[in-house]
Amino acid sequence: MNPEGFLARVATAPISWGVCEVPGWGHQLSPERVLGEMNELGFTATELGSYGWLPTDTAELIALLNQHQLGLLASFVPLVIHDADQVDSQLLDARRHAAMLAEAGAIYFNTAPITSPDWQPRSPLSDDEWAIAYGTLSAIDQICAEHGLVNVLHEHVGCIVETAAEVEMILDNTDTKFVLDTGHLAVGGFDPVDFVRNHADRVGLVHLKDTKLDVAQFLNNGRVTLMEAVQQQLFPALGHGDLDIATVVTELERSGFQGWYVIEQDCALTGDLPGIGEGPVRDVETSVSYLCAVDDKLARMPASSSAT
């Protein structure tokens, strides 16, 4: 991957290789294989992935990433932010995670606002619970700032911030920046292009996922679970779904965005284990090629032109 233009700020994540802590998700490839393939594709940074897949000792983690010429960009941190009885313990967890991420050289702290520590199904929040959530996000913002990190709220299927209406509530009632996750936004009913055009100043980090909207409809109708939807290729390689990823990137770059992008196309490896050099690495390579074409278009675009 040629590190010019915005491509110098494109990272990836283990979930693009099917690495996920959910039981039954699929084959879990080894860190050596995944990190090696990331390096071969030219990436310089990765997200942490599911807890325990990479070393939990910070020195060991840094050493392993250094072996593959990779830095740590961010980590998905599930936290309960709306329950008054759990706020204090969750903020302690946030401090521990922030200290680890800062020591490992990360930039972002991705807050995933879960319903409960054991990921119970979503249920509507009361006004009081939303008020607690807003205050907790502000506290996490401060904790992250103290550690030199950027807190970004990760809207996500199954979390308390999933739908377009819930995203709007966070926009209206907090100053917290977002993980602009194109796939999860689209599944929740918020066009990621509209988000960029109206809220570019609230984007801290970008997760690039193309999405098959027909599969997303099955998910939203309850006909499949998120794991089943991913196994049905809910998030294909960039350029092979229904989202206008090129416009998302172009609009952000033209707005002056200086943050990072992550190719984070959740996949699940079912069936036979892919051979070396096959499987998810080929889809990630396809996504890299797609972004290279977007970068070429940006380079040819006159400075005064508008993204379309």
Q: Per DSSP, what are the bridge partners of residue 108? A: 150
Task: Write out pLDDT tens, residues 18-40.
Answer: 999 888 899 999 999 999 999 99
Q: Given this model, what pLDDT does residue 301 score?
A: 82
CB-CB neighbours of 165 under 10 Å: 11
Longest CA span, the chain:
54
Global pTM value: 0.95
Domain locations in the chain?
Answer: 5-300
CB-CB neighbours of 282 under 10 Å: 13
| Residue numbers in the chain where pLDDT is lower than 70 | 1-4, 303-308
Q: At what angle do helices 127-146 and 87-103 cross, to 10 degrees?
A: 30
Q: How far apart are the first and last CA of the chain?
A: 25
Strand order in the sheet with 260-263: 71-74, 45-47, 10-12, 260-263, 203-208, 177-181, 150-154, 108-113, 76-79
Gap between the Cα atoms of 121 and 269, Å rounded: 25
CB-CB neighbours of 148 under 10 Å: 12
133: Cβ contacts below 8 Å, ≥ 6 apart: 81, 82, 113, 125, 160
Cβ contact 268:227 at 8 Å? yes
Q: Under CATH, domain 5-300 is a member of which superfamily?
A: Divalent-metal-dependent TIM barrel enzymes (3.20.20.150)
